[in-house]
Amino acid sequence: MGYFENAEEVYKYVGGVFRAARENEQVGPKMAAADVDLQIYYSDPESKLTIRMHEPNLEVEDGGDDPNADIKLFMPADIADKYWRGEYNLAVGLAKGQVKAKGPVNKILKLVPLTKPLFPMYRDLVSEKDSVTA
Amino acid sequence: MTEVSSSVEQTPATTITATAALLREIGEPLSLEEVQLSEPGGGEVRVKIRGVGICHTDISAAHGVIPIPLPAVLGHEGSGIVEAVGPGVEGLAPGDHVALSFDHCGECPQCAGHHPAYCELFAPLNYFGERLDGTVTMSQGGEDVHGNWFGQSSFATYAIASARNTVKVPDDLPVELLGPLGCGLQTGAGSVLNVLGAKEGESIAVFGLGGVGLGGVMAAKAVGCDPIVAVDLNPERLEIAKELGATHTFNPKETSDLVWEIMDVAAPGVHHSLDTVGLGPVIRQALEVLRTPGHCASVGFQGLENEITIDQGHLLVGRRLSGVVEGDADPQTFIPELLRLYRDGKFPFDRLVKTFPFSEINAAIAASESGEVIKPIVVFD
């Protein structure tokens, strides 16, 4: 059993941090400027997110499945949890094959530094769940 | 070979301030600012930098081709003197003269097989400016500065380097000039010696005569290749290639059929070719001048996505096209090998060099970009 009990929790917390990015004055505009559609497929639990980054918007679709997305990432949902806590190096995950990618991954790696300010926000988001499961 | 264990006591904590050339915005000049260095961690050393070469990869990162987080300190052809060693470092001590190269994990199958340039973790260890655990080696007033580019970030008066990519060199050599042996020169020479395996009497064509290509020409001359064909658009580069051992030179602007003319020099084609440019038409020419069987090594970097077209008919009948990083070299053994050739007068890399003071690092980068200088080296007092 992974950290998330079901897809709805993935959407609440992981989808939630992407939505928080949209509202963040420091991060939102820079992510929107990436001009890419990102499709993420999670396992354990099976779930998926579509993130469309095009100025001036950053759209997050829970359960979205865009076969024409520029970049597709495949990973266990636990890796997403660790990443957003600031405990997982995405470049290492890609190198070791723990995260699989299709498309110009370079564009996603450019976004990684932008996400660092969101890590405390994610930890706040999951703190309630952590306190229940601890 | 430098080994890492966990039995050595840590250096006492001190705060070291360095002057570093910070990249704050893509495409902007580097800015000389003070930064604070972390203590050398496990398997790390602190090096007082004496010189650092300007390499095409630094310039690519400064233009945003490689996604290094900012602010960052570039520089990956550093050399200098070890000042302190972190826990677990063996084989290196304060006072050692060293050249710095690329980082690698030392544990994956490629590293274990003496191909560290193809380390599983090459990208995260070299391109993102931070340790694998996400910590940084430099900071400024509490702000992270990404100072682990290629395990060194040597555009600074001090660098925290990985012991794995710190290569001890003899004290009687000009240490400030040795950094480019860890990347550009290693790439060209290593491609010729390690990948192509060029031998006495075999023919070779080198496309692009920067530091990498001329490193390839010198290595080819050192092992007795003949003929050695050198190709570049810059007449001055063709002249120095002749001085370093090229037997034939071609300026593509002055030839109507470059492939035909090179094959005429070494009919039915050359044994080996080296592309240091990375543009599709050049790679295609480098492949088409080969005899059968022949081997082309392509090392030119034009971006992480670089689609090219080749004629598969030219690959048939035993021709090979290989992509090469860092000359497929193990720096701990290859840099000493290049220094032996240098002492014997067979690898006169210092002829490619012009030095600049650290305060003029942006001029040094401009001189590299314009082609005015083959290998600018920034030197420190």
pTM for the full predicted model: 0.88
3-state class (DSSP) for residue B248: strand
Q: What pLDDT score was predicted for residue B253?
A: 96
| Among A48-57, A99-108, A119-128, the least confident range | A99-108
Q: What pLDDT score was predicted for residue B5?
A: 37
- For chain A, list residues whose CB is within 8 angstroms of any CB belonging to chain B: 86, 89, 91-92, 94-96, 104, 106, 109-110, 112-113
Q: Is the peptide bond before B357 cis (omega within 30 degrees of 0)?
A: no
Q: Which of B212, B322, B182, B57 is nearest to B220 (CA)?
A: B212
Q: Which of A110, A42, A46 is nearest to A79 (CA)?
A: A42
Residue B86 contacts residue B101 (beta carbons within 8 Å): no
Question: d(Cα A105, Cα A84) in Å, to the nearest integer?
Answer: 18
pLDDT of A26 > 90? The answer is no
**Token pair in block for residue A17:** 């941090």
Cβ–Cβ contact B133 with A under 8 A: yes
- Which residues from chain B sit within 8 angstroms of residue A110, using beta carbons? 67
Question: d(Cα B199, Cα B211) in Å, to the nearest integer?
Answer: 21
Cβ–Cβ contact B118 with A under 8 A: no
- Which residues from chain A sit within 8 angstroms of residue B67, using beta carbons? 106, 109-110, 112
Number of CB pairs, chain A paired with chain B, less than 8 A apart: 33
- Do A92 and B121 count as a contact with CB atoms less than 8 A apart? yes
Which residue has tokens 């050695």?
B228
Q: What pLDDT score was predicted for residue A134?
A: 63
List the pLDDT tens digit at each of the 381 positions of chain B: 333 333 333 344 568 999 999 999 999 999 999 999 999 999 999 999 999 999 999 999 999 888 888 999 999 999 999 999 999 999 999 999 999 999 999 999 999 999 999 999 999 999 999 998 889 999 999 899 999 999 999 999 999 999 999 999 999 999 999 999 999 999 999 999 999 999 999 999 999 999 999 999 999 999 999 999 999 999 999 999 999 999 999 999 999 999 999 999 999 999 999 999 999 999 999 999 999 999 999 999 998 789 999 999 889 889 999 999 999 999 999 999 999 999 999 999 999 999 999 999 999 999 999 999 999 999 998
Task: Write the single-letter amino acid at B312.
Answer: Q
CA distance B277 to chain A (A): 21
Residue B155 contacts residue B74 (beta carbons within 8 Å): yes
CA distance B68 to chain A (A): 7
- Which residues from chain B sit within 8 angstroms of residue A106, using beta carbons? 67, 304-305
Q: What pLDDT score was predicted for residue B14?
A: 65
